């Protein structure tokens, strides 16, 4: 009688990076309100945001990056109807806020 023993393949080199990255991303996701308030407090609110266009443009650029990531994930992977709707709402709200920001404060 032959017994076949299967062993698991060793984890890839990306596994530790993914594990640490997910913990950092989860921490930052939980602290994003605090980070945003600190940025506003350090730059004196909306007046400071208009005084530092590089910071404002960087935040707008990151919003566009997140919109593109969300759209790519919706297109690339099969998602449930609920996840697709939530992603679509997120994209629409983000683009709406970006357009409002540009209309109010310019580029």
Same domain, 57 and 31: no
Give a yes or no: residue 75 inside a domain: yes
Contacts of 102 (CB under 8 A, 6+ apart): 60
- How many distinct helices (H) and strands (E) make up the chain? 5, 0
Same domain, 84 and 107: yes
Residue of 19, 27, 93, 33 lying closest to 63 (CA atoms):
93
Same domain, 30 and 65: no
List pLDDT tens digits, range 79-93: 788 888 888 888 888
Dist. CA 25–CA 97, nearest whole Å = 23
Range of the structural domain that residue 61 is part of: 53-107
Please tell me which of 3-7, 28-32, 53-57, 87-91 the model is most confident about, judged by mean pLDDT: 87-91
- Please tell me which residue, 6 or 20, carries the higher pLDDT value: 20
Split at pLDDT 50, 70, 90, the class of 33 is low
Does an H or E element contain 10, and which? none
List pLDDT tens digits, range 47-58: 555 556 777 787
Q: What is the tally of structural domains in the chain?
A: 2
**Using an 8 Å Cβ cutoff, are 84 and 74 in contact?**
yes
């Amino acid at each position: 009688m032959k017994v076949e023993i299967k062993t698991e393949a060793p984890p890839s080199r990306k596994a530790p990076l993914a594990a640490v990255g997910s913990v950092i991303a989860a921490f930052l996701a939980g602290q994003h309100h605090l980070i945003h308030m600190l940025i506003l407090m350090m730059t004196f609110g909306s007046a400071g945001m208009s005084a530092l266009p590089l910071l404002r443009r960087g935040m707008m650029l990151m919003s566009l990056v997140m919109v593109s990531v969300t759209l790519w994930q919706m297109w690339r992977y099969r998602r449930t109807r609920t996840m697709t709707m939530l992603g679509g709402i997120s994209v629409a709200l983000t683009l709406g806020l970006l357009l409002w920001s540009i209309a109010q404060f310019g580029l």
